[in-house]
Chains A and B, each alone.
Chain A
Amino acid sequence: MPLPELKFDRTKCAECQATSCLVKCQYMDFKDKDKAKKEWQKVINSEDSSVLEACTTCYACEEYCPFGNHPFYMIVERQEEKGILPAPRPIVTMWINQCQPVGRFMVGKVEERALSYCFLPHFNTLVKGKLFDGIAWSVIFGQEFFCNAVYLHYAKASVIKDRLPKIVENIKNQGIKELVCLHDECYGTFTSLTSAYGIDTPFKPIHYYEYLYGRLKELKDLIKPLNIKAAYQRNCSARLCPETDHYVDDIFGLLGVERVKREYDRENALCCAEVLRMARGPVLADDVQKRNIDDMVRFGAEYCVFNCPACWDSLAHKVAKQGIKPIHMIDLCKLAIGEEQALRLPELVAEV
């Protein structure tokens, strides 16, 4: 069976005057729009381009493109075509092997509406309490349901194209009609990636922010405003579903949380940078993390609210060292309804 192909419309790029995909890039210097346009044409035409080497795979150009033309997926396609390795080869090998479906399902008592834990154990800790009444047992987890979007970081669109249709099939075969994606990389996959590659999605993906917002409205009598200032840590895959960002404001509004207006939020957000560390080494990653956390401090954040568990792993202890309390969005909601924070600070530097 042929692999699905990226639906990419060249004419949109030809007509585009802004070339926002490159001009807005936080890691490449394309202030000159003409230069950006020429370079982008090289990418589209499968010519050698500095973009392919310089791309840090931050996903942001997916959001910058006003036409939804998937510039990042195009970059990934071209990187793979030309054998460019955004990360060292053994790291790519490890990721490909680690998430390989092995034919063993790990599911709860799955109903038509289910939670996707993706392949992240954090949700075993997070999914507790009233927010998940009536659904906590309806869970899918593991390689067989892993969204595979991570391979965008490793120039392996082919792995996504090979595995994703089977993943979608696996979810469908569980009888799931509505899938609440607790990792928004899954949501981005089942909305943006599947659409870009023409893969039919026979269930309705629901972003967990939408789910939480709905539950909080149902539980509004329990909410005690937190009255705190929080920095929001936007993650790479949020770029695949920017239409969900308003839920952060909506949820914060319900909880009495002020989203600090800082430099590195919304479209200008900085990622957690651990992928940058794997791809580029420590200098860029340390710089990005420092700028990001300094920004949180500068704008008076008391909390750093995480969306992605991987961001949590890489940044939670670092924000804590700067006196900011790290908390996952699910736990933030729990605090407001009188429940306890479940995901705690990781002990990365252990006792001897």
Chain B
Amino acid sequence: MTTTSALYDSLVKIVGKDFVSDQKEERYFYARDGGLMPPHEPDFVVMPKTTEEVQEIVKLANREKVPIVPKGAGLALTGLVIPQLGGIVLDMNRMDRILEVNEKAGYVVVEGGTTHGALKSYLQKHHPNLRHSIPDSPPIATIVANAVIHGQGRLSQQHGFNSDMVSSLEVVLPTGELCRIGSCSVSSYWFSKGPPLPDLSGLFLGWFGTTGIITKLGLKLYPCKKMRDVMLFLTDKAELVPDIMLRLSHTEMVEDVVVSAQPLPLRFRGTFWIMAYITGDSDEELEFKRKMVWDALWEYFESRDVGLLSTSPEMKAPLMSMPSKDLTRFADVSKGGGFQYAGPITPIEKFPAFIRKLEEVATKYNVFYASTARLIDAGHCMMFSFSFSFNRANSDEMARAKKALDECSKFALEEGGVLWKADIYEQRLLMDKMDPNTLVLMKKIKQLLDPNGIMNPGNWEVK
């Protein structure tokens, strides 16, 4: 095996000395994320600029059997980019170019480290009639990482998971070969990640970087209407929320549906806040959509179970911001910057049970909670977040938050939900419950693609 020093030299040879580090500061920083998973330091941090450099690094790692963990902004909060066995963290942030926008076919091609914030700004400036599905994470979240964890965004109610909006991929396989997935494998257009070909994108999306490194990604773009508004409905009956969400979705007028619940500030206590976002190119279009939304909920309005909250501009501004800044505010509500959530993907009928569990667990472990549920793909499922904030300087509070999260994850799984961007503990829970033949298939795929087991080890490891 090559010595650490020789590996360092090899990496320097590939990317230059300014973009490799084995120093304590970088190793400390890249050992952790904002969540509750224990840190583990990498041996090296490398920042490639080109696909060729990624290939060279992967070939080196594969040859030397050194673990390699591709990293975007590290915002999953579930430790997915913590290098469990050390090795190389491949920080993709220098690969941040927006390579192509095809207005007619409605897609953009970006490099593996391009952020959602950069794409949003770029589209606003150069293609104001187009937009993409922005997740409610900070704008430094990368498009690729968000797709790899099956993130959701502002267009998920209409168009599904953000990964459903991927329209082609370029991937460096764990053995270093460069591989194109989808229409771009036979054409110069990046309009489809699969159909009409065998859809191979599933070999990489959802695998948390354990099967390859995405160096380019095509992403579908959608019409950007001139105006956008939010209608804020409140109910105090959790059992009505699934039907309300469904009714809103079935208007086929609503861009995004989000439900939030939290005990503080006081105005939130005792009610569920349902935000229905609508867009239009004219006042008439917006007004028509408002009417459709009202009609959908009129029965509940008449029974006095659901009300519309008129909102001042001050109230509306944070609701309209993309990404939402509320999440960031909640993340520091306990002061000390700790925040994590379990966000199972689940049928929307589970909302009442999940809310009850969240309140029960928060009381049991004395932790501050909040929940945000986002409708996905016209009501086929939702993401329901069991969110807890904690002070990172308070180890007892962190331990209680972790127990609360683990209990919520187990509960969600028992109730038929599927854990989203599962941490290593949750991945084990999922695999324990998974169909054995599915597990065998996953193992075969993983072994086929990554024979030396170098890619983000610890994640999706089938025993």
**A90-104 near B? 1/0 per residue, CB < 8 Å:** 110110011010100
Query: Are B266 and A313 in touch, CB under 8 angstroms?
Result: no
Query: Are A93 and B236 in touch, CB under 8 angstroms?
Result: yes
Query: Are A282 and B290 in touch, CB under 8 angstroms?
Result: yes
In the complex, the chain B residue whose C-beta lies closest to that of A349 is B227
Enumerate chain B residues within 8 angstroms of A277, measured Cβ to Cβ.
Answer: 308, 310
Q: Which of A278, A310, A313, A348 contacts B307 (CB 8 A)?
A: A278
**A121 in the interface (beta carbon within 8 A):** yes
**B141 in the interface (beta carbon within 8 A):** no
CA distance in complex: A274, B301 (Å): 15
Q: Which of B265, B279, B305, B317 contacts A90 (CB 8 A)?
A: B305
CA distance in complex: A351, B279 (Å): 10
**B286 in the interface (beta carbon within 8 A):** yes
Contacting residues of chain A (69-97) with chain B, CB-CB under 8 angstroms = 85, 87-91, 93-94, 97
**A89-B228 CB under 8 A given contacts A100-B266, A278-B310:** no
For residue B123, give the distance in angstroms from its CB to the closest CB of chain A.
10
CA distance in complex: A274, B320 (Å): 20
In the complex, the chain A residue whose C-beta lies closest to that of B235 is A90
**A192 in the interface (beta carbon within 8 A):** no
Q: Which of A100, A274, A282 contacts B294 (CB 8 A)?
A: A282
In the complex, the chain A residue whose C-beta lies closest to that of B272 is A90
Query: Are B224 and A352 in touch, CB under 8 angstroms?
Result: yes
Q: Which of A278, A310, A349, A351 has the most CB of B within 10 A?
A: A349
For residue B311, give the distance in angstroms from its CB to the closest CB of chain A.
8
**A1 in the interface (beta carbon within 8 A):** no
Contacting residues of chain B (198-218) with chain A, CB-CB under 8 angstroms = none
Contacting residues of chain B (254-274) with chain A, CB-CB under 8 angstroms = 265-272
Q: Which of A313, A347, A350 has the most CB of B within 10 A?
A: A350
Enumerate chain A residues within 8 angstroms of B298, measured Cβ to Cβ.
Answer: 281
**B377 in the interface (beta carbon within 8 A):** no
In the complex, the chain A residue whose C-beta lies closest to that of B279 is A352
Enumerate chain A residues within 8 angstroms of B307, measured Cβ to Cβ.
Answer: 87-91, 278
Enumerate chain B residues within 8 angstroms of A346, measured Cβ to Cβ.
Answer: 312-313
**B278-322 near A? 1/0 per residue, CB < 8 Å:** 010001001000110010001001001111111011101100111
Enumerate chain B residues within 8 angstroms of A244, measured Cβ to Cβ.
Answer: none
Enumerate chain A residues within 8 angstroms of B361, measured Cβ to Cβ.
Answer: none
Query: Are B270 and A97 in touch, CB under 8 angstroms?
Result: yes
Query: Are B312 and A88 in touch, CB under 8 angstroms?
Result: no
Q: Which of A278, A321, A348, A350 contacts B308 (CB 8 A)?
A: A278
**B229 in the interface (beta carbon within 8 A):** yes
For residue A272, give the distance in angstroms from its CB to the closest CB of chain B.
9
Q: Which of B234, B266, B279, B312 contacts A91 (CB 8 A)?
A: B234
Enumerate chain B residues within 8 angstroms of A121, measured Cβ to Cβ.
Answer: 314
**A314 in the interface (beta carbon within 8 A):** yes
Query: Are A351 and B301 in touch, CB under 8 angstroms?
Result: no
For residue B333, give the distance in angstroms from its CB to the closest CB of chain A.
16
**A88-B310 CB under 8 A given contacts A93-B270, A282-B294:** no
For residue A279, give the distance in angstroms from its CB to the closest CB of chain B.
9
For residue A143, give the distance in angstroms from its CB to the closest CB of chain B.
9
For residue A15, give the distance in angstroms from its CB to the closest CB of chain B.
37
**B225 in the interface (beta carbon within 8 A):** yes
Enumerate chain A residues within 8 angstroms of B124, measured Cβ to Cβ.
Answer: 351
**B131 in the interface (beta carbon within 8 A):** yes
CA distance in complex: A313, B321 (Å): 19
CA distance in complex: A334, B409 (Å): 58
Q: Which of A85, A93, A94, A348 contacts B229 (CB 8 A)?
A: A348
Enumerate chain A residues within 8 angstroms of B266, measured Cβ to Cβ.
Answer: 97-98, 100, 102
**A278-B309 CB under 8 A given contacts A97-B267, A97-B269:** yes
Query: Are B271 and A93 in touch, CB under 8 angstroms?
Result: yes
Enumerate chain A residues within 8 angstroms of B313, measured Cβ to Cβ.
Answer: 313, 346-348
Enumerate chain A residues within 8 angstroms of B279, measured Cβ to Cβ.
Answer: 352
For residue A85, give the distance in angstroms from its CB to the closest CB of chain B.
5
Enumerate chain B residues within 8 angstroms of A275, measured Cβ to Cβ.
Answer: 310
CA distance in complex: A100, B268 (Å): 12
CA distance in complex: A314, B310 (Å): 8
Query: Are B309 and A94 in touch, CB under 8 angstroms?
Result: yes
For residue A125, give the distance in angstroms from its CB to the closest CB of chain B.
10
Q: Which of A313, A314, A347, A352 has the most CB of B within 10 A?
A: A352
Query: Are A89 and B304 in touch, CB under 8 angstroms?
Result: yes
Enumerate chain A residues within 8 angstroms of B290, measured Cβ to Cβ.
Answer: 282
Query: Are B308 and A90 in touch, CB under 8 angstroms?
Result: no
Enumerate chain B residues within 8 angstroms of A274, measured Cβ to Cβ.
Answer: 310
**A273-293 near B? 1/0 per residue, CB < 8 Å:** 011011001100000000000
Q: Which of A93, A94, A102, A310 has the most CB of B within 10 A?
A: A94
**A16-55 near B? 1/0 per residue, CB < 8 Å:** 0000000000000000000000000000000000000000
In the complex, the chain A residue whose C-beta lies closest to that of B303 is A88
Enumerate chain A residues within 8 angstroms of B268, measured Cβ to Cβ.
Answer: 97
CA distance in complex: A187, B320 (Å): 34
In the complex, the chain B residue whose C-beta lies closest to that of A92 is B307
Query: Are B301 and A90 in touch, CB under 8 angstroms?
Result: no
Query: Are A351 and B228 in touch, CB under 8 angstroms?
Result: yes
Query: Are A90 and B310 in touch, CB under 8 angstroms?
Result: no
CA distance in complex: A348, B305 (Å): 26
For residue A212, give the distance in angstroms from its CB to the closest CB of chain B.
23
CA distance in complex: A351, B305 (Å): 32
For residue B360, give the distance in angstroms from its CB to the closest CB of chain A.
21
CA distance in complex: A91, B236 (Å): 9
What 8 A-B pairs are tightest by C-beta distance, nearest first?
Answer: A88-B307, A346-B313, A98-B267, A91-B307, A90-B234, A350-B320, A90-B236, A274-B310
Chain A positions near chain B (C-beta within 8 angstroms): 85, 87-91, 93-94, 97-98, 100, 102, 121, 274-275, 277-278, 281-282, 310, 313-314, 321, 346-352
Q: Could you list 16 examples of A-B contacts with CB < 8 Å?
A: A87-B307, A88-B305, A90-B235, A90-B236, A90-B306, A91-B234, A93-B234, A102-B266, A121-B314, A278-B309, A310-B312, A349-B228, A350-B229, A351-B228, A352-B131, A352-B225
